[in-house]
Amino acid sequence: MNNLVAESLALVNELKPLVAGTEGADIVVCPVFTALYPVAQALEGSNIQLGAQNCHMKESGAYTGEISPQMLKDVGCVWTIIGHSERRQYFNESDEFLNEKLRFALASGLKVMFCIGETLEERESGKMNDVLVRQVTNGLMGLSEADFDNTAIAYEPVWAIGTGVTATPEQAEEAHAFVRGLVQDQFGEAVADKVRIQYGGSVKPDNAASLMAKPNVDGSLVGGASLKADGFAEIVKQSAQ
């Protein structure tokens, strides 16, 4: 929940020339809802796609305060984030609820970054794998092989979000490999090979390259560092290499 419309526009207008011509990575920005339409207009003709931070699992109706995939597409969104740790933590969004949102967003034609990850308490008590099994099994339930063309999994260890603490490349690789194995068990080798698994959790220009070098880390979900155009552009370039 950062940046008013003018600030969002200034940020993307600064970012565009910094990443122009960058190939080998999909570049997506996910501003607040109030900035989506003007940012979509500013991004026209660029290599940056627009995403939202959340969406509901109904097209319309008596859901005051919510926003549908159709509304997001109407203002130019290609992507949406679903299941971010803050949605799980502060708004009590369950795996089953998020699965509904994921399946409806995909059916509506949006691409989805679907977030999973454990808390520090869960990691330290040895429950990390159990948490990831539950979130992958319940969260991705009912998806088809084709759905994974439009679904990226974002592993975000909650203990590393906004804390300045980053999972080591080895910790990230271990978790990503485990998640890919879960996907293979449930959906088959072809899906596991093609699904993108992003890392999110205090990604910065000075650690992005070492994270991206790991074989099972396919991209990044950038938080605070995305609020500075030059830093975000550096992360993009490292991800594209």
Active site residues: 84, 156
Rounded (10°) CA dihedral 16, 167, 3, 71? 80
* CB-CB contact of 35 with 9 (8 Å): yes
Strand order in the sheet with 196-199: 27-29, 48-52, 79-82, 111-116, 151-155, 196-199, 219-220
In angstroms, what CA-CA distances link 65 with 31, 53, 230? Answer: 17, 14, 34
The Cα–Cα gap between 212 and 172 comes to 10
Q: How many CB atoms lie within 10 A of CB 134?
A: 13
Residue count of the chain:
241
CB 233, CB 18: distance < 8 Å: yes
